[in-house]
């Protein structure tokens, strides 16, 4: 017996005493409709339309500058 569920003993029951969950049970969780408030909708809209992160833009700018420096260094090495 597990948590008070099932048989005390399997003797004479014609089963092995194994208790399993009923997966055919249908629950009514789909019927609940959760409406969003205007504040939640505005918050979601703001998250969707915000611009790129300033740190990411700064990093991309530094990478572009580093690439330009590497190209100039290659040109200078070729020229001697």
Q: What is the pLDDT along the chain (80 residues), one digit of tens a residue?
A: 556 666 677 677 777 777 777 778 777 666 667 788 888 888 888 888 777 788 999 999 999 999 999 999 999 999 98
The closest of 7, 11, 31, 29 to 19, measured between CA atoms, is 7
pTM of the full predicted structure? Answer: 0.38
Domain boundaries, the chain: 38-79
Structure confidence at residue 23 (pLDDT): 79
Q: Quote the pLDDT of residue 34.
A: 75
Per-residue pLDDT, 78: 94
Of 43, 65, 61, nearest in space to 53 by CA:
61
């Amino acid at each position: 017996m597990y948590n008070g569920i099932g048989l005390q003993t399997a003797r004479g029951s014609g089963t092995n005493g194994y208790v399993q969950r009923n997966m055919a049970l249908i629950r009514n969780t789909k019927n609940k409709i959760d409406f969003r408030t205007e504040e939640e909708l505005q918050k979601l809209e703001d998250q969707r339309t915000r611009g790129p992160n300033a740190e990411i833009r700064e990093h991309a700018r530094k990478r572009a500058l580093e690439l330009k420096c590497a190209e100039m260094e290659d040109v200078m090495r070729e020229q001697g």
